[in-house]
Amino acid sequence: MATFFRRMAIRYIFLTLFFSADIGFFGRVTPFGINYGQVANNLPSPDKVLELFSNLKVTKTRIYDTNPEILSAFAKSNVEVIVTVENEMLIQLNDPQQALQWVNGHIKPYLPDTKITGIQVGNELFTNGDTTLIQYLVPAVVNIHNALVRLGIDSNIHVSTPSSLEVLQESYPPSAGSFKSEISGIMSQFLSFLSTTKAPFWINAYPYFAYKDDPSRIPLDYVLFNPNEGMVDPNTNLHYDNMLYAQVDAVTFAIARLNFSGIEVRVSETGWPSKGDTNEIGATLQNAQTYNRNLLRRQMANEGTPLSPRMRLEAYFFALFNEDMKTGATSERNYGLFQADETMTYNVGLSAFASSSSSSTSISLTSSAAHTKAASKEFQSLFFWVFLCLLNSALCGFV
């Protein structure tokens, strides 16, 4: 009898390894995020976007408001949503009662059906053109967090704000990372809030901008995650083979310089334009495909930065769609992984995650890369099923 139970226990362990959603030889699709901007007049409806996400196994997104159509459409889905407080709302949220009313009206009605996991208070306030807004940041994040606590809905929602890399005075080498002195006071207050609430520091990081501004000195392969010699930080001896990781670690060092530790740095936006004006060097479809494809591979591999190799860097791709109503340079309207009709702008490998049974989306699954990956996956599945059968037979004969 003991042998029987031992045999069943071993069989159960192996079956669990094979069929578990979180571990096993088949592995699981690592969650990754995509920014869902809406500055366009031709985008598909939110329910169609959810269908697209579902087909591609996308489980995290960030929106730039609290659009009720989106939050309602994403109810009872497995997509985690980070919402944004518009910059112009910050003065109003300086009042705790107004912050409570905002949370009551914009967040609470959608919980728990919609998985709201974060609230971004403003966007790039430290480098926004309206410098008067920055003084309202810390009171606003504190008031919103306190409102969540008061309503008993704070446990799964972090409150933070995304910053651009312009908050840094120094970023090279990464160990020299430091914040601009003129914002250090407010930054210290903000970091104190993040440290207390265990919320992440979000950064909008675009190696594209660095390359565009200095293409003669910055190797293209270094910013695109292609094989290259990289650089070694002389102070830490850490080797960097891409600029994004160096930028993230520079922010971590800047945080440490203000005597804070344990605050996770995450990337709220990163991407590459597929089209640009004549003076926007590097803004090409090929470079955009290469950057996002290589970053996706590293996200799937759960990579961390050289400074934090055991902690997966969480990064949100920018953006889901090309947004035709954005103003400014041509590149601003051409960051999307998809066109408004849901066809791919270029294939970064997302098609490998698409459900083969789904025919409702316009995504092309005909690229050679997709076929290669599909064939590989089928071979792996066949191999492991044969292995499982052999293992099961062996266990049945185990005495």
Which range among 167-171, 279-283, 395-399 shows the weakest confidence by mean pLDDT?
395-399
Given this model, what pLDDT does residue 392 score? Answer: 53
pLDDT tier at 132, thresholds 50, 70, 90: confident
- The yes-or-no verdict on residue 356 having pLDDT over 50 is no
Q: Please provide residue 396's backbone torsions phi and psi, each rounded to the nearest 5 degrees.
A: -65, -30
Summarised one tens digit per residue, pLDDT across range 194-228 is 999 999 999 999 999 999 999 999 999 999 999 99
- CA–CA separation, 53 and 78 (whole Å): 10
Single-letter residue type at 184: S
pTM for this entry: 0.82
- The yes-or-no verdict on residue 393 having pLDDT over 70 is no
- CA–CA separation, 140 and 381 (whole Å): 51
What is the fold of 28-62+161-354?
A: TIM Barrel (3.20.20)
Specify whether 88 is catalytic: no
Give the 3-state DSSP-derived string for 323-369, with helices as H, strands as E and coil as C.
CCCCCCCHHHHCCCCECCCCCECCCCCHHHHCCCCCCCCCCCCCCHH
Largest CA distance in the chain: 78
- CA–CA separation, 229 and 93 (whole Å): 48
Determine which one of 124, 280, 323, 342 is catalytic: 124
Q: What value, to the nearest 5°, has the Cα angle with vertex 59 and ends 16 and 84?
A: 145
The per-residue b/e assignment along 258-277, b for 16 or more CB within 10 angstroms, e otherwise, is: eebeebbbbbbbbbbbbbbe
pLDDT tier at 237, thresholds 50, 70, 90: very high
Which range among 119-123, 303-307, 319-323, 346-350 shows the weakest confidence by mean pLDDT?
346-350
- Where is 168: in which H helix or E strand? strand 168-170
pLDDT tier at 11, thresholds 50, 70, 90: very low
Given this model, what pLDDT does residue 35 score? Answer: 98
Determine which one of 51, 80, 269, 280 is catalytic: 269
Rounded mean pLDDT, 242-270: 98
Specify whether 269 is catalytic: yes
pLDDT tier at 4, thresholds 50, 70, 90: very low
| Residue with the larger pLDDT of the pair 69 and 12 | 69
Q: Helix, strand or coil for residue 196?
A: helix
Rounded mean pLDDT, 343-368: 57
Which ranges in the chain belong to alpha helices (H)? 2-19, 46-56, 68-73, 96-106, 137-150, 184-197, 207-213, 220-223, 243-257, 285-300, 368-396
Domain borders along the chain are: 28-62+161-354
Summarised one tens digit per residue, pLDDT across range 15-32 is 334 333 333 333 344 668
